[in-house]
Amino acid sequence: MGGFSRRLAALTKKETKELLRDNSSLLMGVVLPLVLILIIGCGMSLDVKDVPTAVVLEDHAPTARDAVSFVRGSDYFAPVYVNSFQEAEAMLRAHEVDAILAVPPDFSRRLLAGDAHLQLILNGVESTSAMSAQGYVEAGVRAFAAEFAARRGASAGGVSIVSRIWFNDANTSTWFYVPGILMLVLTISGVFLTAVVMAREWERGTFESLFVTPMRVLELILAKTIPYFVIALLGMLLCLVVGRYLYELPMRAPLAAILGVSMLYLVTALSIGLVISALTKSQYLACHISLMVSFLPAVILSGFLFDLHAEPLAIRVVSRLLPTTYYLDALKSLLLAGGSPIVVAQDTAALMAFTLLFLALAFAMTRKKVDA
């Protein structure tokens, strides 16, 4: 095996030198992830704060005032008190407020009868903000109702629903996105860089010379993956550090488990890149195929941007066919929930199956021939 290790070392050295001298790979592997995490972390927050809300008190009873008192002193609302519904409506139309919370004149009377209503009108144009605001209002009103019931010594039949958002106690969406960015970094570095470097050798005609040497296909594939594995891991670690110290991302599972699953996913991504590079000999095509099969699904279908539970069945089925989904699932569980052993084990098994499949494909498709 002297020949194997000697040739592998020579090829890996060559690949590393090319990688270091060609800034574009480093940019894509290390700088791009950092830029992504900073931009998305700071700019792409889905949290709703200080929603301008018009509060219309048509019932002047103290209980009515109590019922909507949660808006005061809350981070989520910036209340404006008005006297008539018409006035509030005008403000909503003028985009001075995004929500109207109205207490009807008969509120306190009907409350005693256990049949009170509050009216909430939201600006549906900003649907995400509207949904959040709705949730906050509902929670606030329920809290009031529970308290009110308790004060009156209500019977045991009174049901109070308390919803909490788990695993993101601070409800910071940055926490929700950082695992997604880690996933993106590994996907970009893994799939893109590998797919493109093989195509580059085809385009420059270097393979024709390289093939007619004692080099074996296994050596070529290993030498192509090792440097990019390191680069991608570096980018991922940087993101993890930034996430931890800038956004105070919790890491509730041992670091070893997080890194272990990440490395496994990285090998999956690299093997997808190898399959793409065996399919096409053009860098341009390799880029586009990578974009279509890895990057876009990773962003849209893996649960990174959109919660998969809210998607139609067909989309959920498709997302189950992507390795990215399993990795993101495992990573979120590890980082935010401390890692449920069953979830992580299932995801790991799925990733391993994908890795084996793609590696087998890559080996079957990469041949030392020029007419394939």
Partner 1 sequence: MADVIAARSLTKVFPGKKGQPDTCALSGVTLAARAGEMTALIGPDGAGKTTFMRLVCGLMDRTAGELSVCGLDVFRTPQDVQDLLSYMPQKFGLYEDLTVAENLTLYADLHGVPAAVREERFTRLLHMTGLAAFTGRLAGNLSGGMKQKLGLACTLVRSPRLLLLDEPTVGVDPLSRRELWEILTQLVREEHLSVLVSTAYMEEAARCDRVYVLHCGQLLMGGTPEALRTAAAGLCYEVQAPPHLPLRLLQSALLTAPGVLDAVPAGGVVRFLTRRAPEELAPLRALGLQARPAEPRLEDGFMKLLKEAEAEGAAPPAEVETAAQGAAETLPLPPPASAAPALIEVEDLVKKFGAFTAVAHTSFSVHRGEVFGLLGPNGAGKTTTFRMLCGLLPATSGKLRVAGVDLRTARTQARANIGYVAQKFSLYANLTVYENLRFFGGAYGLYGRQLRERIAAVAEEFHLTDRMDEAAERLPGGYKQRLSMAAALIHAPGILFLDEPTSGIDPLARRTFWQEITRLAAGGTTIVITTHFMEEAEYCDRFMIQDHGKMLVLGSPAEIRARLGREGAPMDEVFIAIVEQARREKEGT
* Contact positions vs partner 1 (CB under 8 A): 3, 6-7, 9-11, 13-14, 17-18, 21-22, 201, 204-216, 368-371
Task: Tell me whether residue 105 or residue 205 sits nearer to partner 1 (CB atom).
Answer: 205
Q: What is the smallest separation between the CB atom of 229 and partner 1, expressed in angstroms?
A: 20
Q: What is the smallest separation between the CB atom of 303 and partner 1, expressed in angstroms?
A: 39
Phi, psi at residue 251, to the nearest 5°? -125, 95
Task: Tell me whether residue 207 or residue 327 sits nearer to partner 1 (CB atom).
Answer: 207
Task: Tell me whether residue 22 or residue 75 sits nearer to partner 1 (CB atom).
Answer: 22
Q: What is the smallest separation between the CB atom of 31 and partner 1, expressed in angstroms?
A: 19
Q: What is the smallest separation between the CB atom of 211 and partner 1, expressed in angstroms?
A: 6
Rounded Cα distance between 202 and 208, Å, is 8
Task: Tell me whether residue 43 or residue 214 sits nearer to partner 1 (CB atom).
Answer: 214
Task: Tell me whether residue 24 or residue 134 sits nearer to partner 1 (CB atom).
Answer: 24
Task: Tell me whether residue 7 or residue 332 sits nearer to partner 1 (CB atom).
Answer: 7
Q: What is the smallest separation between the CB atom of 132 and partner 1, expressed in angstroms?
A: 51
DSSP string, 146-208: HHHHHHTT--TT--------TT-TT--HHHHHHHHHHHHHHHIIIIIIHHHHHHHHHHHTHHH
Rounded Cα distance between 83 and 339, Å, is 51
The answer to whether 30 touches 228, Cβ cutoff 8 Å, is no
Rounded Cα distance between 33 and 251, Å, is 19
Helix, strand or coil for residue 63? helix
DSSP secondary-structure letter at 306?
S
Q: What is the smallest separation between the CB atom of 221 and partner 1, expressed in angstroms?
A: 15
The answer to whether 51 touches 99, Cβ cutoff 8 Å, is yes
